[in-house]
Homo-oligomer: A and B are copies of this chain.
C-alpha cells in the first residue's frame, strides 16, 4: 500500500533543493551529489518534470534546471500524477461477477470518498509548504 514511489520522492527532494537556490540554474550533477541519489536516474526524472512544465531546462555548459512555477504552485499531486499516473485508488473489485450495481454499492462509495479525501489533502502540500517545515 505504497502511496508514493521513489520517482516522486526523488522529484520532490530535487524540487525542494532547486527552489532553495532561487533562480539559480542547478545541474543534475550538483543535485545528485547533494541528495546522494543515482545521477542518471535523477536526470531522467528531471527531464520528465521539464516535459511537464514543472521545470525549465537550459542546455549547454553550465546548463541545468530552474523551477518553471512558483514553489507555492507546485503540488504533491502534480508530481504524483506524473510518475504514478492518475491517482485512482482502485476500480470496484467486485464488478466482474458478484456485483452489477455500480451505482449503489457502499464499497464503491467508500472508495470514491477516500480517494477524494486523499487527493484533497495531498493537494494542499506544495513545495513551498515543505520548505517552510
Q: A-side interface residues toward B, CB under 8 Å? A: 1-4, 8-9, 12-13, 16-17, 34-36, 76, 80, 84-85, 87-90, 93-94, 96-99, 101, 104-107, 110-111, 113-114, 117-118, 121-122, 124-125, 129-130, 132-133
Contacts and interface: CB of A to CB of B under 8 A. Distances in A.
Q: How many copies does the complex hold?
A: 2
Contact of A93 (B13, B93, B101, B104): B13
Contact of A133 (B87, B97, B106, B125): B106
A114 B21 CA distance: 31
B13 A80 contact: no
Nearest to A113: B121
B35 A84 contact: no
